[in-house]
Structure 1
């Protein structure tokens, strides 16, 4: 990959989009992870205003520290970057106190994890509306179009997606070139939505390198019976998640009314 040219391409795309939309800059959440670190760095290079928002909800201290390190470094390098912290923990706890209790908690943890992501989306759009900013998405290609590893109308609720055509390995390549802190480059990817140390690989059952491999195999027309052992397992994980999460990747279905029924 021509790293520097790809960086310039994304930065120019971001700047052109914001200019054409007559918006003044970008806002995004900073999680302490590689994707938000890369996206914020790319936005910063546009020269337009960039607001980095910390939105902890019972957040792991290591994630908080990494995010703060990145923001401090970014502000030191780019005068157009500012930051704000909104502690959403009381909001989240208030929400939990108001919802009905249930004896069936099979999906409770996942539902609450998605609620965290949607509270953050709402917060980002508050600042976007306040400052005439665009909400910049931080999803990469494997997450957004491979296994659908994001929250619908949570971190999936954005105005534009600058890194959604980059594989995870390419995200790391660009992040390294843009001098993202080593602590973030070396950290295991995690969505941080469960208030514990579980990683993306723990949740998905496969690493991003493995998922990229499976994505390539699908593109090459391979089938499950072409593999055995670990490769077969990974291929199965990828295809199962891709199929189950199509509702996140496709436009909202619209019930089209036959014209004869409208007369």
Structure 2
């Protein structure tokens, strides 16, 4: 019988088993849709992965040839990332206090940060992400699906099972657990999610002049939203419309 290892995230007293769990997932050659988004950008593009953990997204982007920096507040996660990929640049810092004095072609929030951080810190986290984004760059945000959270249905695949324990509809909080299954161990992680509606996200992004221009569904649990500067999106749409009209009239 596989031993059950309960893991927790605590930045003040990091749990080594928590980092080891995420280190077990390895690194795919490409990670959808982040690889596709990167490849739509110029080869000289540079990316910033916020909440990179063990580098599950950063490492594939780096191996595709893109200069990528991973940021995480858990030093044990970053140690695993560097051990597996020594050339990956990493920064150990809380995103809410991040100030690199640099801007990137793509800023990635690939670990449902906005769902897991305190609600009071959401806008500060987004503000820091946008502060590191070039004017014509893109911001990618991964979120748990609020529709799935409200339904409280179980999700299970070969390696994990996600179950709901309780939903606080008044405060939009989902309490549950996720179990991970490996040949030699069974991991259990309990956590809560502050769900975020797409309309709320759009309203927050609008304060900084960004608008959602693409959306990707990841299984039923999560979605990725890609936002760009509203002016850039509008100009692109006008250019495409003008080009289409010209082709029809030629």
More strand by share: 2
TM-score for the superposition, normalised by structure 1: 0.35
More helix by share: 1
TM-score for the superposition, normalised by structure 2: 0.37
Relative contact order: is structure 1 or structure 2 higher (C-alpha 8 Å, sep ≥ 6)? 1
